[in-house]
Amino acid sequence: MKYLIVIPDGAADEPRDDLDGRTPLEAASTPAIDGLAARGRSGLVSHVPEGFPPGSEVACMSLLGYDPHACFTGRAPLEAAASGITLGPHDWAVRCNLVTIRDDGPTPIMEDFTAGHVSSEEASELLAAAGEGLAREFPLVAEHWRFHPGVSYRNLLLFQRETRGQLQGQLQDTAAEPLADDLRTVPPHDLTDKPVADAFPRGTGSRLLGEIMAASGRWFAGHPVNLRRVEAGHRPATHLWLWGAGRAPAMRPFSEIYGVSATMITAVDLLRGLAALAGWRRREVEGATGYLDTDYAAKGRAAAEELERADLVCVHVEAPDEASHQGDTTEKITAIERIDELIVGPLVERLAGSEHRILVCPDHPTLLATKTHSRGLVPYVIAGTGIEPDGGTSYGERTAAGGESVEPGWRLMGRFLGTTPGGS
């Protein structure tokens, strides 16, 4: 039996006036996914339990069959795992966005949480400057912390015991950790076009993180990277935004829990990290960008190849989420249609005649109206071997509302695989 999961990140939404009361999923032309709904079963599921932030870090963990209550510690540790960084029991990782904050009015505004999708090369230069600024203005802090470049605007700030130099012997107890579980931060993508003054970190360690965020404005002002970007008509990276802090999560191998091998195809470090912690193979795809210009067809071809070696292949596509953060209805619909045409359609054809199951499910809603992630129900469809049709004819939020709900969300994986998990 082969298993295919397609995650159209953030594709779920609300009915919109500009779509005649339809959601983007309902307005998009998705004959391949509609065909799955006609041959399979649909329903609603929430992958973000109450009390958790409504982001992909929680939702994708649940969608991959892990209970966030047992496994979630924060977003940044998942991205650290994607980079092969091993966190010790008292180490911390903090997500570090390069952002554009507009400060020409009565209050600073988050203009762009991606700093105009700054390139990875530019980000590395800016983080090097941040490291120099940290050493210059916060010398004691710099002994224990380091910036780690990632992809584009997505980077990390790490605290690791083994890097703490001369203070190693003085800091052996957990009370010496710089952050604690009461730390609360706000994702910058939830602040688009909003004031940032009241969104700085709160809780243990928040003063340190806030001071670094404020100081980054001085470190980046007049930096050659920003001068070149402004001259080229691009937004500058004006600040660092620190959020998503956490310690290493404990996740049992997926194959141990569910009894199948798996491969992840994604351009996003968060999903790479989840795959690494779950013991999945990761397939990198040339042209996969994690943005609207991603090569959908290349992802589909890679998935077809991986189905030859793995029991389960998961294709994650970030584009619908990115379109939502921009508030761009047309681009969101286009992304959904390309997923259907260039990924789901060819893979349905590839699997025809063999024993297989296919699951299509967003991780969470990302609302065009607010440009932010939202907690709520998303539609899923499961079709294939052993799945009795429920009479559905199309895929969308309202048609799925008449199907079977799954609660809690992390149990959807067991239902899809037809197994009882051996733990979470």
> What is the DSSP annotation of 178-217?
S--TT-B---GGG-BTSB-TT-S-BSTTHHHHHHHHHHHH
Task: Confirm if 132 and 216 have CB atoms less than 8 A apart.
Answer: no
pTM over 0.95: no
**Rounded distance, CA 81 to CA 71, Å?**
14
pLDDT tops 60 at residue 56: yes
Can you tell me the distance from the alpha carbon of 356 to that of 48, in angstroms, rounded to the nearest whole number? 28
User: pLDDT band at 176, cuts 50/70/90?
Assistant: low
Confidence of residue 177 (pLDDT cuts 50, 70, 90): confident
Q: Domain 2-72+252-417 is classified in which CATH homologous superfamily?
A: Alkaline Phosphatase, subunit A (3.40.720.10)
User: pLDDT > 90: what percent of the chain?
Assistant: 91
Q: What is the pLDDT of residues 129-146, one digit of tens each?
A: 999 999 999 998 888 899
CA distance 391 to 420: 26
If you search the block for the tokens 């209970």, which residue do you land on?
67
pLDDT-based confidence at residue 172 (cuts at 50, 70, 90): very low
What are the extents of the domains in the chain?
Answer: 2-72+252-417, 92-246
**pLDDT for 104:** 85
pLDDT of residue 246 exceeding 60: yes
Please answer whether residues 336 and 11 qualify as being in contact, where contact means their C-beta atoms are separated by less than 8 angstroms. Answer: yes
What confidence tens digit (pLDDT) does each residue in 192-211 have? 999 999 999 999 999 999 99
